[in-house]
Amino acid sequence: SGRQASIAAIGNDGLVRDIKAGRLPGIDRLEALFNLLDIELYIGPRREMVDAIQPPDADLSELANIPLYNADLAAGGGATNGEEEIAGYLAFRRDWLRKVGVAPSSAVMARVEGESMLPTIWSGDMVLIDTSKIEIHSRGRARKTSKPHVYAFVEDGSARVKRIERVETDFYAVISDNPEFPIEFKSQKALDDMHIIGRVMWWAHTDQG
């Protein structure tokens, strides 16, 4: 209980009660409580991007470090990025990457900004991109049961993320999941002028607050 934890940490029963009441105790008392609960107490810069984040006792041979680029993919009008630098790495299990059909050497990650892909992809989400998958296909008979694939691409110097589908031989649709954003139609020439970074294979909601 909170009372027992307080007594074990500092010798009286008021510590957890004070925290629940909104009274912040001294750092020495917090440290004593955290040590009791086997929780790290850390004060410093945000540590969400740590190189090669590894789960405890992980078999490192089973993990692949995927680079997270310091670049935004706009779910909207387009985000202009300069020279993309690697902000850090995230570790993925190799067997999971094989399951979803992504080779570690072809995988990169970036963040998405904007609201055009809501409610599927939110602003601030991280996406895993397979750079080997750049061909745009028609859904064919699966049109009624599946959605077009999501791609990351650069158009007129701006990086974007949208669903893209070939609807005719030389005609493509660029589609947002948010119905407030209209469908864009592209000719084969316009698509050829775009740089397809790759297909988005996975995304994760992240707390940007």
Residues 69-88 have pLDDT tens digits of 887 887 755 554 545 678 88
**Is 46 within a domain?**
no
pLDDT of residue 199: 95
Q: Is residue 150 part of a domain?
A: yes
The tens digit of pLDDT for each residue in 132-177 reads 999 998 876 656 667 899 999 998 888 899 999 998 888 999 999 9
The predicted pLDDT at position 80 comes to 47
Please, what is the end-to-end C-alpha distance for the chain in angstroms?
31
Contact 87, 125 (CB under 8 A): no
165/80 same-domain check: yes
Whether pTM exceeds 0.75: no
> Within a domain: residue 163?
yes
Residues 110 and 142 in one domain: yes
pLDDT higher than threshold 90 for residue 11: no
